[in-house]
């Protein structure tokens, strides 16, 4: 499997996640990631309904292709809106006149990759994840994964992965789908360690790389306040209160909560990369600084003793 860096840029935010991002800000975010040494860029057709892929491709067009890892996803095809506009709501703003439609078939996967390459302006992608097959596991196992394994074995793509917001089905794919990596979003964070129940030990045993995404749980751990988002919806009050406890504990050690949130997943030996989204160059630069900020061991000990982390969780060195 392709070597993965400690930090990657998640490119959903520059696909106008929740709020619009200008073309200039999107390019500046990718440029700031590059300037900070980030070489993993993750996108998907869903993000901005193609907008993220196009922006990522435009920003990387002048970069040496062999110097970065590009991952995208399959499982949703973008189809034109009808005369009355999109039929489903979306959390992306000001998107093109297309909407995603689930398709995990071999033909759908091949079409999805072809269309992604066209939007990206690239001749290859390094990692292809099967995206959110929560209600389509059997279709993914019989359609998407076999064709991706074939493309990997033919050298067309570098690695096969699966990206989801849940851990149990990812564990099934590790056992049954021949994946090289998994992208676990939001389920191994300071607020949620359910990935530890089965998935992470299984990946460690089988040598499957874990990419920890959603480490801010879509916003709450970046800015723990009432009205913040958790898993792409308004955070419930009890989680806001817990996030504020985490923030206060970090503050006692002079540590930004975002730094602790970014570094926590790397304490597990199966986690190779943290994937963090950013919508501005300033956010990207902060993430890059926080991933390498020295954190005191006493911080982790205090989080455990306060009951904010379980006692058996692997902690960063």
Instruction: List active site positions.
Output: 47
Q: DSSP labels for the chain?
A: -----SEEEE-SGGGTBSS---HHHHHHHHHHHHHTT--EEE--TTGGGGHHHHHHHHHHTTS-GGG-EEEEEESEEEEE-BTTB-SS--SBSS--SEEEEE--SHHHHHHHHHHHHHHHT-S--SEEEEE--TT-HHHIIIIIHHHHHHHHHTTSSSEEEEEES-SHHHHHHHHHS--SEEEEESSSSSS--GGGTTHHHHHHHHT-EEEEE-TTGGGTTTS-STT-EETTEEPPHHHHHHHHHHHHHHHHTT--HHHHHHHGGGGSTTEEEEEEE-SSHHHHHHHHHHHT----HHHHHHHHHTTSS-TTS----
Residue in 92, 177, 172, 79 with CA at minimum distance from that of residue 134 = 172
């Amino acid at each position: 499997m392709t070597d993965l860096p400690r930090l990657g840029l998640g490119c959903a935010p520059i696909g106008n996640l929740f709020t619009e991002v200008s073309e200039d800000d999107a390019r500046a975010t990718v440029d700031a990631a590059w300037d900070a040494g980030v070489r993993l860029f993750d996108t998907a057709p869903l993000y901005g309904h193609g907008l993220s892929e196009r922006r990522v491709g435009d920003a990387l067009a002048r970069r040496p292709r062999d110097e970065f890892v590009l991952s995208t996803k399959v499982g949703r095809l973008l189809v034109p809106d009808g005369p009355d506009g999109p039929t489903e709501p979306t959390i992306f703003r000001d998107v093109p006149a297309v909407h995603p439609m689930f398709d995990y078939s071999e033909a759908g996967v091949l079409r999805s990759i072809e269309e992604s390459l066209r939007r990206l302006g690239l001749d290859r992608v390094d990692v292809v994840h099967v995206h959110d097959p929560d209600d389509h596991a059997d279709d993914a196992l019989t359609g998407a994964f076999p064709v991706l394994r074939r493309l990997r074995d033919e050298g067309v793509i570098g690695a096969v992965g699966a990206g989801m917001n849940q851990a149990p089905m990812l564990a099934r794919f590790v056992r049954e789908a021949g994946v090289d990596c998994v992208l676990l979003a939001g389920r191994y964070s300071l607020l949620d360690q359910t990935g530890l129940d089965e998935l992470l030990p299984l990946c460690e045993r089988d040598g499957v790389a874990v990419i920890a995404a959603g480490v801010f749980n879509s916003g709450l751990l970046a800015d723990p306040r009432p009205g913040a988002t958790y898993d792409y919806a308004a955070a419930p009050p009890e989680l806001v209160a817990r996030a504020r406890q985490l923030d206060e504990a970090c503050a006692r050690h002079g540590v930004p909560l975002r730094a602790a949130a970014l570094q926590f997943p790397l304490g597990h030996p199966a986690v190779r990369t943290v994937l963090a989204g950013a919508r501005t160059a300033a956010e990207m630069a902060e993430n890059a600084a926080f991933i390498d900020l020295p954190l005191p061991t006493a911080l982790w000990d205090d989080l455990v003793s306060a009951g904010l982390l379980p006692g058996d969780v692997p902690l960063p060195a």
